[in-house]
Structure 1
Amino acid sequence: MTALLTNEALYQKSPEEITALLYEAALTNLENAIEHNERQEFIEANDKLKKANDIIYRLGAGLNYEAGIIADQLDQLYNYLADQIIEANYKKDNSKIREVIKVIESLMTAWNEAMKQKKDPQSSAVKQKAKAYESTSIYE
């Protein structure tokens, strides 16, 4: 992110916008880590990679598992990315960081496109049926 957000501005963001900002921040940290590795500034690179990993963790923690299989798949992908970042940090391997960047760029592009569309894939009829079912179901 090029500009820091104030707490007030951050609280005014929707969850979708915050997710987009997290993707952007992860990319920025990963790109900075590559630059630091190339200059053999390994402590700074380590800090950037730890921040990127923290962001990936937060993205995973924010998943809504009621969304179905896509949430499970994203969880697995986030775990894979976190593992790759740790390995890249340990080995000072910029190619692994670039691999993570490609995946996050793809996710960010898809996320931003979905935000532009802002269409709910479920029809109102399906939602009404689900609400009717939930209101008559007995939960144990």
Structure 2
Amino acid sequence: MLYKKTLKMVQVEEIITELDSFHYNDGDWLPLDRLIIKLWNTGKPEVAIQSLFKIFEKYPTEDGAGVFWTILHGIESLNYEKELYDSLIRKPSYMVVIMLNRIENSNSKTIAGKSIAKFKELLRNHSKINSELLDYLN
């Protein structure tokens, strides 16, 4: 049993390395989609949560031709609010702003113990925010 867990962690670490070095070519997001499927098949996707958010940060105005929605739905099945908050602080992105709005629309007033309304105000003035994202922060 210990061997299987170790093997799974090696697989997850390899997937994390691939996620961290991922670059799409000519709009082809299928390699990323395959990585996400492999990650979830390990049963340990939470280990790669920071790498998943960094994909959003690397492509802040993209939706990955639908692949990012798969990532979003997967992340939402995990304990993710602290990583979401940290991602928005590092570099606001379309998908992570969408996630913040989804939390707010569920009648939650806070994220990672912080006021969503105050956090959105901070994000509107963030030095790394793409102007295209400002409309999503209302």
TM-score (norm 1): 0.31
Structure with larger Rg: 1
More helix by share: 1
